[in-house]
Chain A
């Protein structure tokens, strides 16, 4: 293992593309050169559910300035992120299943013409009953959205690990909670956009898009356009946020490519904010029934959980989401028995998908809330009840998840101390409260969705006459700083200055394939591949240096761009001299590095056992302090203390940013973010009505980094971008309970919900008083 010298606590590295972004030099998809590009626009269903009886695009096609019109006739293929569940057409075929579903699209010489053409499209739909809640869709007489999915269930999951019955029998306290979490959306700042260029002479297609996973886009375009993959090139420009919105290939990306090919030219598609919300693919509305058994000392004996997710009209990522919701009940605490029943339901709404903390957030919320309520009933401190259930690494959970490093105990200590919990809990003035919760998340799914047998990550490193080291990676930097991580990993391994390394990311013509930015996999997998590649380059350079210095290979070190014999030896060579000698020998050098998760990391043998499996979990604990206005129901978050075990902070500055981002996104889900459909129409489809927190709501966040040094992580690192999210909503709800003595069962905790809860309590007290007086 390389000695960590340039990385670590002392090195807070600004993102290598940070200056481009803050100066506006960075070019996002909509900023690209679209000279000569046609304007793409989508005709969308106004009906929630129905059969397409007639679709007439002839008038649109005949309009002057319209170059291409596409419908499902141009693409008879389904697409989707999961090979086993591709039941969606880029343009609706025969049936529409949600308001906003694309039916046709046009490419025209300008925006006005495109808009006019959309207005000329005629579509007749025979309406079918539409379902907007899980209960409606699951009703016995409900019409099926998909012929092969009775009961409108995409997937049922029934898992049982350990003896649940015995667990509950051994408990001193058994309690249940029914908790409901609203649907939320990523609301990434950059709206969706795609630029597709089809060259009819070479029959090649180049697509620049906002994708988090260019590789999936590549595969889906080949499938839907019936093109050979070798004729497609996917380039990732700068991306203004993903959060899971862009892991799945999105319909507008395929539509743009279809338009470009039909028009035999270049088409730019920019979606409005409303269309972003219609494209959706975010966290589903979720109902959770949770039952926990606990001994008097706080030790958990059993867990039984039912999760119902309203998944929207198509499968998307649904199977994975519903599996995650159960799998991630484990891996955080030691629970002797766990039963999980999950139901992924179809409804006539925009399809849900992956969103930061994928699948785990809502069930974690329920769990941490009920844990607190039971601790209170038993007179236990919230920290104590969590400490009573810690895992001991290394271990495997009941559902066969691998835990090699586990810093949760230290996370608890750190936030307890930083927030002065012990001194302050129970002593706060009226209307103020403290709450806490824990959470965790995978460092990459150990089994890729598109199983190919290839390594899970590959990085190339090039070295040429200029002495610059270029790392080539397919991993999408979507703002999380993954390219900076690659640069640090390469520089650190080679013992060279960071600014000697250039990273080129996300161009299928140049960079090796990567499984993309999802499930927080990049640092662990691509980081390890980058280290591997850099080591392979290093061994070439060391061999060269050994030859020139007439020393043994094992005695050569490269530190601070100087090759030396031994540590204190006099004989040394500058990096650039060794490079020249190596190039003279063999010409420009390109080496590859890879990383593969071993089979034992890839989850249990039970059905769906791969979901949740990972090389390592990040762990987080957080304390939230709130003030509540009991007249208006407003909740103000005064401060947050959060600790995250990321194994090792390769770049503490970026780690802090990612933790703050997770907390902040959890804050949005907890306080104000929710979708709201009116008969399937999104009433929330703007940044005004979909309420992400503003600066005014953003509290000071005290970040503590905990390093448990994972044995397999790159330099010991694990993920840092998602783990802290799921803890925020329960910590907030627990703080509200601490402040008001009211347990809320619904997210988000909006002022109207708080006021309603206060009124109900007042009413209950009044009734109790009346009954008392009467008796």
Chain B
């Protein structure tokens, strides 16, 4: 239970191609950048890579670039650097707010965009020491047969708790992924699956190299609930990007984290386009959230609370963005 780190081989490739090759060469390996999630999980015995492929020194991954197609954020950019980047602060406020809401200053200085997007899912039955999980008969997500959150079910309900994903999703971001076949770009939302056991739909030897944010005219914001104002993962987090034309909604995208095994874009909000934001539409948003989130008893705080808080946040952030643009 002292959380020993085993002997590990560190590989330090200089570019993305070398990183992918190294990942293939060392089957029992993991990519590591900031390590703020990985090392804790290793100490808990949740993962036991024999080699770590350190991608923190690959230049291509650590830049933020603008081009006609918007902003390309390297996956190795630290959370702290992302939070203070002037274009992010100016045009993609939800991203900056989400970055600033992650953990504490130390984690933000080390943790990276890619790491936060690929954060392992969390559950109070999973994020425990080896001793603890063994005493509890392990669980579906690691070594075990049953999910203690929903013992009758067949799937793992561990929740995704990254803060950046919903903020990027609210802008319709794309992920640029490198693999042995070369590079591909897919909508960011497509890398996530509603399964706590295997929530990432990217191959093990693939690497997210960048997130692409399209140009936007929408105003945006991110808010999360947690027990403390720092350190804690979101019990629920909501990002909203809202474009307003005249008095009416021109575009709206609401994305959530912390409530499901994946971050997701709230469905059904298109119905709000073309109408002003009213008490009725805010209630609609609350109802949509309450219907679509699937919080389970994966945290000490109740699932019911996370559902209500997610809905309340979606309403509040939307209303605030609307008020802001109506001024």
Taking beta carbons and an 8 Å cutoff, which residues of A are in contact with B?
41, 44, 46-47, 99, 111-112, 115, 270, 272, 274-275, 631-634, 672, 676, 678-679, 681-685, 688-689, 691, 693-697, 750-752, 755-756, 759
A-B contact sample (16 more), CB < 8 A, given A44-B1, A274-B129: A46-B135, A111-B2, A111-B4, A115-B2, A631-B315, A681-B128, A683-B124, A685-B132, A691-B227, A694-B104, A694-B228, A694-B231, A697-B228, A750-B301, A752-B302, A756-B305
Interface size of B as a range: 20 to 34
Residue ID in chain B nearest A270 by CB atoms:
B2
A46 and B230: CB pair below 8 A? no
CB distance from B69 to the nearest CB of A (A): 37
Residue ID in chain A nearest B6 by CB atoms:
A112
A631 and B228: CB pair below 8 A? no
Q: How far is the CA of A519 from the CA of B136 in the complex (A)?
A: 38
Residues of B85-135 whose CB lies within 8 A of A: 104, 124-125, 128-129, 131-132, 134-135
CB distance from A38 to the nearest CB of B (A): 14
Sample (17) of A-B pairs whose CB atoms are under 8 Å apart = A41-B2, A46-B135, A99-B135, A115-B4, A631-B315, A632-B309, A633-B309, A676-B300, A683-B128, A689-B300, A694-B229, A696-B230, A750-B301, A751-B309, A752-B304, A755-B308, A755-B309
B230 and A694: CB pair below 8 A? yes
Residue ID in chain A nearest B309 by CB atoms:
A632
A632 and B312: CB pair below 8 A? yes
Residue ID in chain A nearest B105 by CB atoms:
A695
CB distance from B68 to the nearest CB of A (A): 40
A691 and B228: CB pair below 8 A? yes
Give which listed residue, B131, B132, B231, contacts A688 with CB less than 8 A. B231
With A274-B129, A274-B131, A683-B300 already in contact, the answer to whether A689 and B124 are too (CB < 8 A) is yes
CB of B225 closer than 8 Å to a CB of A: yes
Contacts of A755 in B (CB 8 A): 305, 308-309
Contacts of B151 in A (CB 8 A): none
Contacts of A756 in B (CB 8 A): 305
Give which listed residue, A44, A99, A633, A691, contacts B232 with CB less than 8 A. A691
Q: How far is the CA of A112 from the CA of B302 in the complex (A)?
A: 38
With A683-B300, A694-B104 already in contact, the answer to whether A752 and B305 are too (CB < 8 A) is yes
Q: How far is the CA of A111 from the CA of B104 in the complex (A)?
A: 30
CB distance from B95 to the nearest CB of A (A): 21
A751 and B305: CB pair below 8 A? yes
A697 and B3: CB pair below 8 A? no
CB of B313 closer than 8 Å to a CB of A: yes
Could you mark each residue 1-14 of chain B with 1 if its beta carbon is under 8 Å from any beta carbon of chain A, else 0?
A: 11110000000000
A632 and B225: CB pair below 8 A? yes
Residue ID in chain A nearest B229 by CB atoms:
A696
Contacts of B225 in A (CB 8 A): 632, 634, 751
B229 and A678: CB pair below 8 A? no
CB of B142 closer than 8 Å to a CB of A: no
CB of B316 closer than 8 Å to a CB of A: yes
Q: How far is the CA of A552 from the CA of B14 in the complex (A)?
A: 86
A697 and B300: CB pair below 8 A? no
Q: How far is the CA of A752 from the CA of B308 in the complex (A)?
A: 9
B227 and A751: CB pair below 8 A? yes
A46 and B134: CB pair below 8 A? yes
Contacts of A678 in B (CB 8 A): 124-125, 136, 148
A681 and B227: CB pair below 8 A? no
Q: How far is the CA of A631 from the CA of B314 in the complex (A)?
A: 11
CB distance from A113 to the nearest CB of B (A): 11
Q: How far is the CA of A632 from the CA of B313 in the complex (A)?
A: 8
Q: How far is the CA of A684 from the CA of B225 in the complex (A)?
A: 19
Q: How far is the CA of A275 from the CA of B129 in the complex (A)?
A: 10
Residue ID in chain B nearest A688 by CB atoms:
B231
A684 and B4: CB pair below 8 A? no
Q: How far is the CA of A678 from the CA of B132 in the complex (A)?
A: 10
